[in-house]
Structure 1
Amino acid sequence: MHSVNQTTDAMVRSVLAYAENRLRMTPVPLDRGTRTPQELYRELDGLIRDQARQPDEVLGVYSSVIAPSIISADSPRFLGFIPAAPTKASLLFDMVVSSASIQGISWLEASGAIAAENTALRVIADEAGMPGSAGGCFVSGGSAGNLSALAVARETGKRRLGDALAGRRPRVVVGEDAHSSIVNTLRLLEMDALVVRTPDHRVTADAIRAGIDGLDISDVVAVVCTSGTTNAGIIDDLAGVGALAREHGWWFHVDGAYGGSGVFAPSLKAKYAGLELADSFILDPHKWLFAPFDCCALLYREPALAKATHTQDASYLDVIHTGADRETGEWNPTDYAYHLTRRARGLPLWFSLAVHGIDAYREAIEVAVDLARQTARLIDRTPQLELIREPDLGVVLFRRIGWSPADYDAWAQALHTEGIAFIPPTKWEGETVGRFAFLHPHTPMWLVQEILDRTA
């Protein structure tokens, strides 16, 4: 299994040929996706057995059974949830990272990989306006980033409040549209959410002041803003809330998992004013920075606070901590999140950024923003449709006048079944509505027109 022989040689050729064919697809087809559990398990049952099988036989099952049952999130026709659009460069280098089995825990065994990852993190920190001292690591996704950052917020808050917090659970100020991972994280960390009402679905300093007026807030340790909500792409009042956080001594965390990358787009830059005040900030390159799954950039204003929270101590880890600090320049990603074992998931982003240049990323993000703006105007001109709100980023919400939830479901199902688009409905203030999530720079406006025509 671990040596190159005749069977392995043939397997390498077959798998690389399959990968090359997939990489050369332009555009990537949507695929029909979901099959029933009964069908899939019947076709996969018994494939794994005591004896070996020919690699081409197993690869054939993947290509004929598994791959067609997966909706391609990197297709320009994938317009639901938050899509993906990894560059060819990042996908190719992801193969390099996997084939090299890089254990990206510490400087000791992966110094080159970590240095490269850190240069990519520096690009993001500079764009966000964070200080030169900022640093962090790459984790698996926004949920892992939020969990790691808010764990540091909790521990830092506990040290600040001291005995005043004795016997009480820390609280964190959040808006009504905070991502589901925030609420789940608070539960896991044994903190409570102080939810403030946001009439316009946007967390502002004024909304927080109104929400905490007359309340005992001596147990609050942090406040969370979102730079691009998943459902509607709304950017909170980062400047106002950041200043309020400083006023109260709260940790200021910005969840930019989806929309944080918009800070790279010149037309959006002003919307991110105040991001530079964040104590922690996350951004998913596997979304709007066109990297492969899974990749979240996690940054701290003062990384030493994260290191104090997350460093794992064990006799077998002593060797990696020798000399690993800001002064020496050595850096252990494992010290800045809840993880220990990690792949060097930031390297595909690093490679693609270096190959294409940052300006290419700015331009690609602007394409998605422009798609959203054009779609909003198209909806305005379509009699049976109503635009719910002007898009901040790449998400467009609309209603089809007179439709029930079943109508939206039937519309979306027909579009998917026919291979036109994957565009599931969502809910807005309890009402089922339509939702475009633009991310892929190759999504054409004629496709948008076709989708909207199907609402007639």
Structure 2
Amino acid sequence: MTEDSTHPFPSPAPDSAPAPDGAAAPATPPTTPESSERSAFSRASDALQRHRAPSEVWGDEREAVSLALRWAAEHTTVATDPKTTARSAAELQAAVGETITEDGIGAARAMELFDSVLLPATRAAEDPMNLAYIPAAPTRAAVAFDTVVSAANVFGGVWENGAGAIFAENQVLRWIADLLEWPAESAGVFVSGGTMGNLSALATARDHALRARGRRPEGGWALACASTAHSSVASAARLLDMDVVTVPIDDRGHLTGEALEGVLAADPRICAVVASGGTTNAGIVDDLASVIPVAHRHGAWVHVDGAYGGAALAAPSAKGRFAGIQEADSFIVDPHKWLFAPYDCCALLYRDPRPAAAAHSQHAAYLDSIDRGESNPSDLAAHLSRRTRGLPLWYSLATHGTAAYSAAVERCLASARTVATAIEASEHLELLLEPELSVVVFRRPGWTPVAYRRWSQRLAKEGTLLCLPTAFAGEIALRLAFVNPQTDPAAVIDVLERTMHAADGS
């Protein structure tokens, strides 16, 4: 094969050889810095693979490996595209065709389709102007090391198989536990996301209650939370056959011990209380200092869902909002949200891991030889097989240091405050609440729901700004989630000023 500079991911080229006698020399594509870099990468990749003989099953995979690794290396260094470019399944089918065939379509074609059709039909989560949902802004170091994790192919369920990798993950978990001011015996595990983290923690709470009380209560188990709790809490309750008892929030949107007291006194079925360490919609941190002692007085486990906001524990300016969390029983934070790790990564921690081990440890003939005296991540959540997904965060933290992480979180908090101040000073916008963390909720008085959607969709398709309508206090609103330290608040303010004057959102 020859290097084709017009192909975004040409096949790795062998060293050039002279043309046979009497034959015309093949046309040499023009050399560009990019094509030279690609050729050099391919030669280096081929050289590194020279000791790998072709597989009797898979054949020679050098081309497939070089193409994938080169794409990963290039993509880690390029800028992102903030446009919303989702396409229908019918459109993608027409553009891609059938890729899963009896004989395969080859690495070059598969890579070409991924690069030119499939990836462009996604939204860049890490773009500085993506402020929708809770986006992600991983460091380049973390993204690059995610490739290392895949290449290492470590089974991270038990210490016997993954000791070194688990040891590194545990150092990160210890850092988080120290932010929580939890004792030395606390422990945790990295799971796929907040939904799995909440499910595993609440399964532990239910099992712990059964062991403590000796029987299932009449009417079954229940958990208590505010109406602002993440949707995954209700999902976990359904899977665990638990009822959800909703506790009223105060006028600022917080779950409080005062409101919780009466609910727990009236319903002995409640074995767990879920408090928010930063709601996804508005970034509100519940009143943990009053909630936790009330819950414990009634024998209820306290789980703090900090999937988004828990990262703010690393910021000195925000840590005071989490007062009381030192006594919580379990906690989650998603590093892929605001601790600059790639998808998917949730840190689940237990103040005392023994109830978790009692609830989740699996036993079978082939598992009975596992050393239970060491750290076995499979014992602490609803899983057995697991990828060591905490390692990209470990590598980035080890590379940059915790001070850099604290500064990055502080920068996001400052950006949110700057934009909120500008909105509050604006004549045509209304700030709906002072941001507690890095979510800014506001509205454009006079706009209809249709106007909000039209404005949001137009800016998304242009690639100007990603900001989606939401609901707040029963009314339609807009929210901006600042979790990317590269986001320029002045650029966001400029977009709001330029695009939101029109009364109809056009």
> What's the TM-score bracket when you normalise by the shorter of the two chains?
over 0.9
Identify the residue that residue 196 of structure 1 maps to in structure 2.
247
Is the alpha carbon distance of 1:317 and 1:25 closer, same or farther for their aligned partners in structure 2, counting shifts above 3 Å? Answer: same
Supply the RMSD in Å over aligned alpha carbons: 1.5
Please list, as runs of the form range in 1=range in 2, the aligned pairs for 1:384-399 lying within 5 A after superposition.
384-399=428-443
Aligned residues: 445
Per-residue displacement from partner, 1:189-214 (whole Å, max 9, x unpaired)?
Answer: 011111111133210111213545xx
Q: Does 1:46 align with 2:98?
A: yes
Is the alpha carbon distance of 1:167 and 1:246 closer, same or farther for their aligned partners in structure 2, counting shifts above 3 Å? Answer: closer
Please list, as runs of the form range in 1=range in 2, the aligned pairs for 1:52-63 lying within 5 A after superposition.
52-63=104-115
Q: Work out the CA distance in 2 between the residues paired with 1:166 and 1:413.
A: 49
Identify the residue that residue 281 of structure 2 maps to in structure 1.
231
Identify the residue that residue 174 of structure 2 maps to in structure 1.
122
Q: Does 1:185 align with 2:236?
A: yes
Q: CA deviation at 1:333?
A: 0.4
Q: CA deviation at 1:166?
A: 4.1
Identity %: 44
Q: Work out the CA distance in 1 between the residues paired with 2:238 and 2:104.
A: 45
Could you tell me which amino acid in structure 2 is paired with residue 364 of structure 1? A
Alignment partner for residue 351 of structure 1, among 391, 395, 412? 395
Identify the residue that residue 31 of structure 2 maps to in structure 1.
none
Identify the residue that residue 283 of structure 1 maps to in structure 2.
333
Q: Does 1:435 align with 2:479?
A: yes
Identify the residue that residue 299 of structure 1 maps to in structure 2.
349
Per-residue displacement from partner, 1:359-399 (whole Å, max 9, x unpaired)?
Answer: 00000001110111001110011111100000011100001
Superposition misfits of 4+ residues, deviation over 4 angstroms: 2-7
Identify the residue that residue 16 of structure 1 maps to in structure 2.
69
Q: Work out the CA distance in 2 between the residues paired with 1:145 and 1:228.
A: 16
Q: CA deviation at 1:101?
A: 1.1
Please list, as runs of the form range in 1=range in 2, the aligned pairs for 1:139-218 lying within 5 A after superposition.
139-163=191-215, 165-199=216-250, 200-212=252-264, 216-218=266-268
Could you tell me which amino acid in structure 2 is paired with residue 268 of structure 1? A
Given that residues 416 and 489 in structure 2 are in contact (C-alpha distance below 8 angstroms), is that contact kept between their aligned partners in structure 1? no
SS at match of 1:316: coil
Q: CA deviation at 1:155?
A: 0.9
Is the alpha carbon distance of 1:69 and 1:299 closer, same or farther for their aligned partners in structure 2, counting shifts above 3 Å? Answer: same
Q: Work out the CA distance in 2 between the residues paired with 1:166 and 1:411.
A: 51
Q: CA deviation at 1:3?
A: 5.7
Identify the residue that residue 375 of structure 1 maps to in structure 2.
419
Is the alpha carbon distance of 1:166 and 1:242 closer, same or farther for their aligned partners in structure 2, counting shifts above 3 Å? Answer: closer
**Structure number with bigger Rg:** 2
Given that residues 395 and 436 in structure 1 are in contact (C-alpha distance below 8 angstroms), is that contact kept between their aligned partners in structure 2? yes
Alignment partner for residue 246 of structure 1, among 290, 296, 318? 296
Given that residues 32 and 68 in structure 1 are in contact (C-alpha distance below 8 angstroms), is that contact kept between their aligned partners in structure 2? no
Given that residues 444 and 500 in structure 2 are in contact (C-alpha distance below 8 angstroms), is that contact kept between their aligned partners in structure 1? yes
SS at match of 2:98: coil
RCO greater where, 1 or 2, for CA within 8 Å and sep 6 or more? Answer: 1
Alignment partner for residue 360 of structure 1, among 401, 404, 415? 404
Relative to the length of structure 1, the TM-score reads 0.95
Relative to the length of structure 2, the TM-score reads 0.86
Unaligned runs of 5+ in 1: none
Q: Work out the CA distance in 2 between the residues paired with 1:181 and 1:420.
A: 31
Q: Work out the CA distance in 1 between the residues paired with 2:182 and 2:96.
A: 49
Q: Work out the CA distance in 1 between the residues paired with 2:195 and 2:106.
A: 39
Could you tell me which amino acid in structure 2 is paired with residue 342 of structure 1? R
Per-residue displacement from partner, 1:397-450 (whole Å, max 9, x unpaired)?
Answer: 001010011101010111111111111111112311111011110111232123
Identify the residue that residue 78 of structure 2 maps to in structure 1.
25
Identify the residue that residue 491 of structure 2 maps to in structure 1.
447
Q: Work out the CA distance in 2 between the residues paired with 1:339 and 1:54.
A: 34
Q: CA deviation at 1:24?
A: 0.7
